[in-house]
């Protein structure tokens, strides 16, 4: 799982600048998750070797009257959701009253808080930041977010102590590629096969047994109703598993001989306990559930149609590489023209998701719920299937025969062989000459060719290209 970093501080200290620096290298399609609360912004961050979820808060005003209300509404929740808090101050302004107020609150937290002085470019940073030690939050880290200065060092410091807890925060470096010209294709293939066999022997049984299924969607789409419906069915055997207060509840269950772990973001199980307040919808909880799932069941409300929030949930799931099953809920009692309208809206706006199965269900009446699981297991199977080098190479060759890669600078791009680079999502690594110059259209062609040839439903597929052998 990825850690969550919250950026807090007065307005204008540079929080958005830092947020954008963290998130902009990510796929622009889904970089930002429009917050369900107005003034908070969520992003998937990738910076240097780190990846994490970042929350930008609108900033606290410093007006003592308003500060509690403002903080309570957004910064406070962001701070609560975070694993790490970065408290930004403006090195040029010195310590302000609002900084002091926020520091008073942050000092009481048990989670790591880093005091970060921004805008240290073009000034004597050491003397400008000295007074911030009076906030009694430990060292003052100097950065210039606008120029990226000090940012890598800050991340090294903040992530070092939590890497054991969040190993996913570090992106594995790709191995160096040996791009010699005269390739011994057969030898390479043999080597890949040997590695595959070895990997297979060592592979954990995770893929063979439990399917982690997250049920996500906006508030009120029917997640709790659906979860209760699933858990209430006779054929389901539910085991008890305690949850923590903050995160989703994991509910192990078995259905038709297949084991699942339901990741319940709606807090159904917890609500059963007496006197417990129902938790508010949490974006972070939802994002974490998606990251941690094999398959994500995205619930959409037929009565509301597709919303931006639905689309950003979908985008986030795709970006995370998770398998997707779509359920349009509350399909009961709708007029035919309403149904037709929703169907055509989905066709029009979700064309890019044509690999995901779509179900029209009524969680309230139980209609269509059983079939969901067929699509879930199918998606899981597609996402985790073993793909041999021989098979992937054969499909690549067939694709190349059907439709030659284009000429680049007078030379034809040559694809040499392909092998699997990972599961859930399946990653296909293609080696060849000049592959960096392949146009996107040809990459899409290959992707579709693979999808068809492998008959993969429900999972995104990633293709990576490597120059040479």
Binding-site residues: 9-16, 56-60, 118-121, 217-224, 264-268, 329-332
Distance CA 422, CA 196 (A): 11
Query: Could you tell me how many helices (H) and strands (E) the chain has, helices first?
Result: 15, 19
Distance CA 361, CA 368 (A): 5
Cα angle, residue 67 at apex, residues 65 and 72 outer, rounded to 5°: 125
Least distance between ligand GDP and beta carbon 466 (Å): 37
Measured from the CB atom, the residue of 139 and 219 that comes closer to ligand GDP is 219
Least distance between ligand GDP and beta carbon 15 (Å): 3
Measured from the CB atom, the residue of 215 and 446 that comes closer to ligand GDP is 215
Binding-site residue positions for GTP: 9-16, 56-60, 118-121, 217-224, 264-268, 329-332
Which residues, at least 6 apart from 199, have a Cβ–Cβ distance to it below 8 Å?
A: none
Q: With DSSP H G I counted as helix, E B as strand and the rest as coil, what are the percentages for the chain, rounded to 5?
A: 40, 25, 35
Measured from the CB atom, the residue of 60 and 395 that comes closer to ligand GDP is 60
Tell me if 325 sits within 8 A of 376, measured CB to CB: yes
Q: How many CB atoms lie within 10 A of CB 49?
A: 14
Least distance between ligand GDP and beta carbon 144 (Å): 4
Measured from the CB atom, the residue of 2 and 327 that comes closer to ligand GDP is 327
Binding site for ligand GDP (CB under 6 A): 11-17, 59, 118-119, 121, 144-147, 217, 219-225, 266, 329-330, 332, 362-364
| Run of H or E including 327 | strand 323-329
Give the full edge-to-edge strand order of the sheet including 249-255: 237-238, 249-255, 258-264, 211-216, 295-301, 323-329, 357-360
Residue 172 in tokens? 């594995």
Measured from the CB atom, the residue of 267 and 432 that comes closer to ligand GDP is 267
Tell me if 433 sits within 8 A of 469, measured CB to CB: no
Measured from the CB atom, the residue of 97 and 197 that comes closer to ligand GDP is 97
Give me the residue label for tokens 């339901």: 262
300: helix, coil or strand?
strand
Distance CA 88, CA 86 (A): 6
Beta strands in 29-122 (DSSP E): 32-34, 40-47, 50-57, 84-90, 113-118
Least distance between ligand GDP and beta carbon 126 (Å): 16
């Amino acid at each position: 799982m990825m850690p969550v970093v919250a950026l807090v501080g007065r307005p204008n200290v540079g929080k958005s600048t830092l947020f954008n620096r963290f998130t902009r290298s990510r796929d622009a399609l889904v970089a930002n998750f429009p917050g369900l609360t107005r003034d908070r912004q969520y992003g998937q961050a990738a910076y240097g070797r780190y990846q994490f979820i970042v929350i930008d808060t609108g900033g606290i005003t410093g007006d003592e009257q308003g500060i509690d209300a403002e903080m309570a509404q957004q910064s406070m929740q962001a701070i609560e959701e975070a694993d790490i808090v970065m408290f930004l101050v403006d090195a040029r302004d010195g310590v302000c009253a609002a900084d002091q107020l926020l520091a008073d609150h942050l000092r009481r937290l048990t989670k790591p808080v880093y005091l970060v002085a921004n805008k240290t470019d073009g000034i004597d940073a050491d003397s400008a930041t000295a007074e911030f030690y009076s906030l009694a939050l430990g060292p003052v880290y100097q950065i210039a977010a606008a120029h990226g200065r000090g940012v890598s060092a800050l991340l090294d410091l903040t992530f070092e102590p939590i890497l054991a807890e969040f190993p996913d925060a570090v992106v594995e470096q790709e191995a160096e590629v040996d791009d010699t010209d005269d390739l011994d294709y057969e030898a390479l293939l043999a080597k890949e096969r040997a590695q595959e066999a070895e990997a297979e022997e060592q592979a954990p049984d995770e893929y063979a047994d439990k399917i982690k299924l997250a049920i996500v969607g906006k508030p009120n789409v029917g997640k709790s109703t659906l979860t209760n419906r699933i858990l209430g069915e006779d054929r389901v055997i539910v085991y008890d598993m305690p949850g923590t207060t903050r995160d989703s509840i994991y509910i192990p269950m078995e259905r038709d001989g297949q084991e699942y772990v339901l990741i319940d973001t709606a807090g159904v199980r917890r609500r059963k306990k007496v006197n417990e307040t129902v938790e508010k919808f949490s974006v972070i909880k939802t994002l974490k559930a998606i990251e941690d799932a094999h398959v994500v069941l995205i619930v959409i409300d037929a009565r509301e149609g597709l919303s931006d929030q639905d689309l950003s949930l979908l985008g986030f799931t795709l970006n995370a590489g998770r398998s997707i099953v779509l359920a349009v809920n509350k399909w009961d009692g709708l007029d035919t023209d309403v149904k037709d309208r929703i169907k055509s809206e989905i066709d029009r706006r979700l064309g890019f998701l044509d690999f995901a199965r779509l179900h029209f269900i009524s969680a309230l009446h139980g209609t269509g719920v059983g079939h969901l699981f067929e699509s879930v297991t199918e998606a899981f199977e597609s996402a985790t299937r073993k793909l041999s080098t021989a098979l992937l190479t054969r499909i690549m060759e067939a694709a190349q025969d059907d439709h030659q890669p284009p000429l680049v600078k007078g030379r034809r791009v040559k694809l040499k062989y392909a092998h699997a680079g990972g599961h859930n999502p399946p990653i296909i690594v293609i080696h060849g000459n000049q592959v960096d110059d392949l146009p996107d259209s040809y990459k899409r062609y290959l992707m579709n060719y693979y999808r068809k040839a492998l008959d993969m439903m429900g999972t995104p597929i990633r293709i990576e290209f490597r120059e040479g052998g």
